[in-house]
Amino acid sequence: MIDLLIRTFIKQHENTADKAVRTAYGNLACVVSVICNLLLFAGKTGRRMNIKIVGRKVNLRENFKELVQRKLSKFDRIFDEDADATVTVTLEKNRQTVEIMIKQRGMLYRAEATAPEMNEALDDVVAALGNQIRRNKKRLERAQKMQPVELPDTYYDIPDEEDEPEIAKRKTFYVKVMTVEEAILQMEMLGHTFFMYRDGDTGEIDVVYKRRDGKYGVLEPEG
């Protein structure tokens, strides 16, 4: 292909001692580079994640849904059509909470923000998600080289028990087999301070947690 372009667009292409020929080579290289970048950009913009927008105790207007689509398009370089994003907006008194949960190839990404205005909460949660990704950039790059493991659709919240008001929430989820490094990454992407996982070497269920000093700890069962 390159040889064809050279023969087509550069006269006397073999005479590289000629200044005009060398200039033509440089111009052709610039044109090819621009075309490749445009094709790459077009390919990425065509691969967008699937976005589901849910309103709890509030009716969402179409202009807000369009705003969500535009805001999340900032992450098109990271997430493709294999990613499923759920944006949940909850109205409680005078506060609006926006939660973003993204699932892609077994990895969960989560961020949440609360503000008086819906658009303000959306801006805050998108910024929080971006910060999580930037803070864990190296871990994410390493994780992309790992064999993807799909999580089953059993990650859900169980409603509060009226007879046990001291328990605010019960959560059931699939305990995935992973390394401690993968567990730390998943914990950071969910915005949690702890995460339960099954150790790939021992088969035991461990818990990794974030300490006050910023370091990490692991709880392992005894016996």
Same domain, 164 and 205: yes
Phi, psi of 157 (to 5 degrees): -95, 140
Question: Residue 142: inside a domain, yes or no?
Answer: no
pLDDT of residue 1: 59
pLDDT computed for residue 197 by the predictor: 94
Tally of domains within the chain: 3
- The residue among 135, 169, 204 that closes a domain is 135
- Residue 54 phi/psi, 5-degree rounding, is -125, 135
Shared-domain flag, residues 54 and 129: yes
Tens-digit pLDDT profile for residues 87-96: 999 998 889 9
- Asked if residue 144 belongs to a domain, the reply is no
Asked if 158 contacts 170 with a C-beta cutoff of 8 angstroms, the reply is yes
Do 77 and 127 have their domain in common?
yes
- Identify the domain containing residue 23 by its residue range: 2-45
Cβ-defined contacts of 99-106 (< 8 Å, 24+)? 99/125, 100/72, 100/125, 100/126, 100/129, 102/49, 102/75, 102/129, 103/151, 104/49, 104/79, 104/80, 105/148, 105/149, 105/150, 106/148, 106/149, 106/150, 106/151, 106/176
CATH number of the domain that residue 119 is part of: 3.30.160.100
pLDDT tens string 176-222: 899 999 999 999 888 889 999 999 989 999 999 998 788 999 999 88
> Bigger pLDDT: 18 or 165?
18
Count CB-CB contacts under 10 A for residue 149. Answer: 12
| Residue 39 domain-assigned (yes or no) | yes
Whole-prediction pTM value? 0.55
Q: What local confidence, expressed as pLDDT, does residue 96 receive?
A: 93
Model confidence at 33, in pLDDT bands (50, 70, 90)?
low
Band of residue 153 on the pLDDT scale cut at 50, 70, 90: very low
User: Could you tell me the pLDDT band of residue 32, with boundaries at 50, 70 and 90?
Assistant: low
On the question of pLDDT at 101 being above 70, the answer is yes
Q: For residue 84, how many other CB atoms are within 10 A of its CB?
A: 14
Q: Which of 56, 55, 49 is nearest to 71 (CA)?
A: 49
Q: What burial class does residue 187 get, using C-beta atoms within 10 Å of its C-beta: 0-12 exposed, 13-18 middle, 19+ buried?
A: buried
